[in-house]
Amino acid sequence: MNVAIEQQSAFFNWKENKIVSLLFVGFVLHILSLFSPLSNKAVNNVFYIGVMFPALLLTRWSDIKALFSSNLVKIATLYGFITSLMMAITLDANKIKYVAYFLSFVLAFYHLSKFKLLKPQIVAFTIALFVLTYAVIQLLIFYFGYDNPIYRRPWFSGWQLFTPSYFTAYISVASTTAAYYLLVRKSPVLFFMLVTLVGALFVITQTRMGLLGVLLSMPFFLWLSFKQGVLSISVKFVLTVLIFSVLISALYLAGVFDVLTVRGESYRLLIAKTAWTEGMNCNALVGCGYAHDFALDIGSRILITEHSSYSNQALRSGLIGVILLAAVIIGTVRAGCRIKSPWVLSFVAGCGCLLVEGQSLMAQPRAFTQLIFWFPFCMVVMAELEDRRKDQKA
């Protein structure tokens, strides 16, 4: 009897390991597909086959209970359901499936973490190395492959709208957590090399979205570093800060950062004010719906996007959507700070980038929203669940 049970258990373990292997490969291919020129349909198919299908196959009721023991998952699921429902009612009934995309994505992280395939440091370094390498290759192709002058603003290729702004957002999210881990590993040379490369990429791409994300994450970076004993007030630290400040001031006076300031605020404040006003005028609670066409005539051209995910949320789902999104963000930041997860730095950086980018956070698999918001969100959730498991064992 016991032998039969052991054989059955071994069979299920073997089967689970095969599915987890498929999920891991599929997950990696999905992330790579977001950086590819594949069609929208092809990228979605990679997600269905490589992420959604194996994640659902692995899921048992005990996994659902464990995952939803996190309040972050509960409020994010509620946010996803309400947002998808509003999209389905006001735009297209098919959009209700977006909440299933979200849940599959979170479940994939849960299973990969459960089987020890998502080591936080390895993931941080891998994503940072991949994004930075991809950015450098794209820049080399743009300037040397197509003989563009160095002062021309670059344009990256790829179906997922790889504008300079988007890519600096990926760099911002990928580099903040990786930089923290470099300090933890006491690798100051690599840390300053990373900071220098990221700063140079911001200037070369002539965009401020990623810089905004980095600046917003800085207070949390310093707080976490001092709290964890990675940094301490010392003569060496003070001298380093002074030298860095003098260097940045010298570069600023030399006009190096002029490309980041010449465009001013690019109508962002006017766009945000208009979007929020329109949403509140339609309906303060539920906004104008997702079929609403936003258009702002600024004289020289007509702007048709809200240029901020928060304005997008207010315009299309009113105070209900804004409150739910705020609950997700505040809850994730609080949890990340409480458990001292470095991935909260990437999450805060992503939230900063969303201030000037107007995509919906609940949609089909999409590079921008997944990489700068849901990816670090899931990493914080996994860290929270791991911390809870340790407390239960203690």
Whether the per-residue pLDDT at 352 is higher than 60: the answer is yes
Q: What is the pLDDT of residues 109-148, one digit of tens each?
A: 999 999 999 999 999 999 999 999 988 888 888 888 888 8
Which class for 310: exposed (0-12), middle (13-18), buried (19 or more C-beta within 10 A)? buried
Whether the per-residue pLDDT at 303 is higher than 90: the answer is no
Is 260 within 8 Å of 206 (Cβ atoms)? yes
Lowest mean pLDDT across 55-69, 205-219, 261-275, 363-377: 261-275
* pLDDT of res. 7: 42
Q: pTM of the prediction?
A: 0.93
CA-CA distances (angstroms) from residue 141 to 67, 156, 157, 194? 43, 9, 10, 21
* pLDDT of res. 158: 58
Q: Please, what is the average pLDDT of the chain?
A: 88
Instruction: Write down the H helix ranges in the chain.
Output: 2-34, 40-47, 53-58, 61-67, 71-90, 98-114, 120-140, 164-184, 188-205, 209-227, 235-253, 258-261, 268-282, 309-338, 343-353, 367-369, 375-393
